[in-house]
Amino acid sequence: MKSLKYLLFTVLLIPAWSCLGAEIAVRDGESIQDAVTKAEPGDTILVYPGSYKESVYIDKDNITLRGVVQKGKWPVLEGEKLRNDAILYSGNGITIEWLKIVEYKGNAIMGQSGNNYVIRNNWVIDAGVYGIFPQFGVNGLIEYNVLSGIEDAAIYVGMCDNVDVRHNEVFDSVAGIEIENTRHALVENNYAHNNTAGILTFITPGLPIKTTYDVIIRDNFIVNNNTPNFGAPGSIVSGVPVGTGVLIMAADDVVIEGNIISGNNSFGLVITDLSFITNVSSDPESEPNPDNIQVLDNFMINNGNDPVAEVRALMATRLSTTGPDIMALGTAGEEDNCLLNQQAYRTYGTKKWGVCDRTTTADIVSYQLPEPAPARLIENDQDRAAHLYNGICAGCHAYNLRMIGPAAMVIQALYHDDPEGLAEFIAKPAKIRPDYPEMPPQDYLSPELRLKVAEYMLKLEK
């Protein structure tokens, strides 16, 4: 009997342990980046309470970066408003959890085309442009994070597929949660309050991924999103009206269900085509209309108490000064969208909408994949350049419109015969345009890769 147990133990448990990888401890005064340099795929880096004044770049697969919170003391990554990003990762299978991240200029946690990411239990305060920002990743989970004071989106899921965003709290930011150029996203049980806008899903034209569809926004608290817009002038979110609960722009197959949406001063939910906040320098490949938007049962109350001038003007046509719970603008009123209980809401522009034929999305529990996604295939230099451009540059540069940075077309005109000059700029960007933020240096890329991505950017056609 004993030997049988022993046999089971060795056969079953030892292999399980041995693939767990090693643990590497980082303590106050040491560097997290040094630990990443030492780590092998499969390892866990444990960061003990202390102050870490650095930017961390993870370019390996299957690394867990885990803070250890002891007696209420956190490991704190401090940007001191000097550093750009707290954590950048480009590996697959990266987990980042239990870290406090404060006062960076760029992003708190940015994923650059890593698949199978998990970002949870982090606490992010005043971290610049984007708080948690997985870009161009397949299969992810973002949960139990608390973020505040972000100039653009606290949680920005950009050009991703298959992601669950749940149980996060986002506040005092311009956009709370943003699902952009992304497919199969479940946004559930989050608390989005006191932002300019709570939860947004839309298409930004001019990016390599052209669509947003299959988004469920379910069982969230979306309240009092009335913080004046402090987004960088010219950026897309700087055009979002203060007092927006939920914004759907040009996205398709979106379900809004079971949310409590209240106290948002312009409107509870606005559904619109691309003309709403972009001066759509049209991208022929991005279809501008919101199709198949389904508003199921939600609790919407006390929205529209102090709407922005544009909403006030529209409501004046109805002899009202109060914004609606639900407003359909532009082609949103014409398209094939539906409401489950028209009479439960104060609406504007939804007259032509039908009654939804489904009542719930309860059958969809998660949009994560059942198995990890394979890493993206990189067979040659061209693939690698595309991978870098999509994973990094497209976070701030669209082809033909201003995002955080100038349009790629503008850059092509400046550098068309000078890829070396472009490659040099991105290693050490200078502050050029007074009305743009400074571009963060991309000096973690080797000179060869910088040149590759420069050449790629100059050849972009859409």
| Footprint of ligand HEC (CB under 6 A) | 106, 129, 392-393, 395-397, 404-406, 411, 414-415, 422, 425-426, 431-433, 436-440, 442, 453-454, 457
Based on CB atoms, which residue is closest to ligand HEC, 152 or 273?
152
* Cα distance between residue 170 and residue 131, in whole Å: 10
Is the separation of the CB atoms in 165 and 176 below 8 Å?
no
CB of 412 to ligand HEC, least distance (A): 9
Is the separation of the CB atoms in 458 and 416 below 8 Å?
yes
Based on CB atoms, which residue is closest to ligand HEC, 20 or 414?
414
* Cα distance between residue 198 and residue 220, in whole Å: 10
* Cα distance between residue 102 and residue 107, in whole Å: 10
Is the four-CA dihedral 79, 110, 56, 146 of positive or negative sign? positive
Q: How many CB atoms lie within 10 A of CB 207?
A: 24
* Cα distance between residue 140 and residue 340, in whole Å: 30
* Cα distance between residue 136 and residue 386, in whole Å: 11
Based on CB atoms, which residue is closest to ligand HEC, 28 or 418?
418
Residue 143 has phi, psi (to 5 degrees) of -145, 150
CB of 393 to ligand HEC, least distance (A): 3
Is the separation of the CB atoms in 28 and 53 below 8 Å?
no
Based on CB atoms, which residue is closest to ligand HEC, 45 or 129?
129
Burial readout 140-153 (b: 16 or more C-beta within 10 A, e: otherwise) = bbbbbbbbbbbbbb
* Cα distance between residue 396 and residue 260, in whole Å: 32
CB of 389 to ligand HEC, least distance (A): 6
CB of 309 to ligand HEC, least distance (A): 29
**Six token digits for residue 237:** 């979110």
Is the four-CA dihedral 286, 290, 291, 292 of positive or negative sign? positive
Based on CB atoms, which residue is closest to ligand HEC, 186 or 454?
454
CB of 435 to ligand HEC, least distance (A): 8
- Spatial neighbors of 367 by CB under 8 A, at least 6 apart, are 162, 163, 164, 184, 185, 186, 214, 216
Is the four-CA dihedral 450, 454, 460, 462 of positive or negative sign? positive
CB of 82 to ligand HEC, least distance (A): 16
Based on CB atoms, which residue is closest to ligand HEC, 50 or 437?
437
CB of 390 to ligand HEC, least distance (A): 10
Based on CB atoms, which residue is closest to ligand HEC, 292 or 400?
400
Based on CB atoms, which residue is closest to ligand HEC, 112 or 168?
112
**Six token digits for residue 395:** 């976070």
CB of 450 to ligand HEC, least distance (A): 7
Based on CB atoms, which residue is closest to ligand HEC, 100 or 397?
397
CB of 425 to ligand HEC, least distance (A): 5
Is the separation of the CB atoms in 223 and 268 below 8 Å?
no
CB of 6 to ligand HEC, least distance (A): 55
Of 112, 197, 198, 231, nearest in space to 160 by CA: 112
Based on CB atoms, which residue is closest to ligand HEC, 157 or 454?
454
* Cα distance between residue 125 and residue 207, in whole Å: 28
CB of 224 to ligand HEC, least distance (A): 29
* Cα distance between residue 172 and residue 165, in whole Å: 19
Based on CB atoms, which residue is closest to ligand HEC, 312 or 376?
376
